[in-house]
Amino acid sequence: MKQAYLLLLGTALALGGCNFGPGKSVKAHINLDTLAYTYKTIKERAADCGNKPDTGCSVAKINYPIFTGQAVLNDTVSARLLDLFGGEKRPTNLQQWAKDFIASYESVKKQDPRTVMFFTLDSHVKIIRQDSSLTTLEVSGYNFQGGAHGSSITTFINWNTKTNKDIKLNDVLTQGYGGKLTAIADTIFRKEEKLGPTATLANDYFFKDDKFALNENYSITPIGIKFLYNQYEIKPYAAGQTTLFIPYAKIKSLLKPNTVITQYIK
């Protein structure tokens, strides 16, 4: 409970200055509540690490919160971590994932003992915000197993603490919202990318059929919905991640009443 109290205190102190979008602050009247949790770290080091620091040898590290009395949320956190870099042989638990990762390095090392390359897995879950209805978590990871560069991925969990489930857009937006939301997002995207209303997306972006589209990777914030495109998703690797923020003020007509968002727009 000490952990939850400290988070509550820290969040309350930060409310006045914490921004989730351009020029906006969190409303101070929101009633705060937190789920109690503790952090767990799983770490596996390769046999040849010796006295080397983690930054100089093959290490798998996974850091995530375990919520008290929240089995469904905890299972969701674990599943989302496993899905970050999941392949055909997706492990069944986080401890096994770390062990398998190091085993894959040691297999490569056995084939070529002279290699100086080392593998890195660094995955973590960060609690972005908690209040009386919503717990938002950022699930991120970096994976390097050879090649020109590693892979970084960030996803989100938007958890309704009252219904005990992950929130989907159709839980908070009206039926048939897709076309209108996409059109509003397209306008915002073009403005931020300094593109004209009819400028082609074919040359610098990877959208299917060269048409703007929203993905399903978003976080619900007190003043809007933030979408995030990961590396290679819509731009080259060097461009990094791309965020697109849609303020609630732009989509008031699309918001359902009596949802987790309602508390932010009264």
pLDDT in tens, 27-40: 444 556 689 999 99
169-265 homologous superfamily: Heat-shock cognate protein, ATPase (3.90.640.20)
63 Cβ contact partners less than 8 Å away, ≥ 6 residues apart: 39, 40, 41, 42, 123, 124, 125
Residues 35, 9: contact at Cβ < 8 Å? no
pLDDT at 26 exceeding the cut of 60: no
Tens-digit pLDDT profile for residues 67-87: 999 999 999 999 999 999 866
Question: Which of the four CATH numbers 3.30.565.40, 3.30.360.10, 3.40.50.720, 3.40.190.10 does domain 2-166 have?
Answer: 3.30.565.40
Other CB atoms within a 10 A radius of the CB of residue 58 amount to: 26
What pLDDT was estimated at residue 4?
43
What is the pLDDT averaged over residues 217-236? 97
Which helix (H) or strand (E) is 130 found in, with range? strand 120-130
The confidence score (pLDDT) of residue 79 equals 95
| pLDDT bucket at 21, cuts 50 / 70 / 90 | very low
List, by residue range, all CATH 3.30.565.40 domains of the chain. 2-166
- For 163-222, the pLDDT digits (tens) are 999 999 999 999 999 999 999 999 999 999 999 999 999 999 999 999 999 999 999 999
For residue 34, the model assigns a pLDDT of: 81
pLDDT-based confidence at residue 56 (cuts at 50, 70, 90)? very high
pLDDT band, very low/low/confident/very high, at 1 (cuts 50, 70, 90): very low
Query: In which residue are the tokens 């933030």 written?
Result: 226
> How far is residue 85 from each of residues 90, 105, 152, 236, measured CA to CA in Å?
9, 16, 9, 19
pLDDT over 60 (residue 13): no
Residue range(s) in the chain whose domain bears CATH number 3.90.640.20: 169-265
pLDDT at 10 over 50: no
**Mean predicted lDDT score pLDDT of the chain:** 89
Mean pLDDT of 128-144: 94
Contact between 223 and 231 under an 8 Å Cβ cutoff? The reply is no
Task: Decide the pairing of beta strands 151-160 and 134-144.
Answer: antiparallel
pLDDT (0 to 100) of residue 111: 93
Beta bridge partners of 151: 143
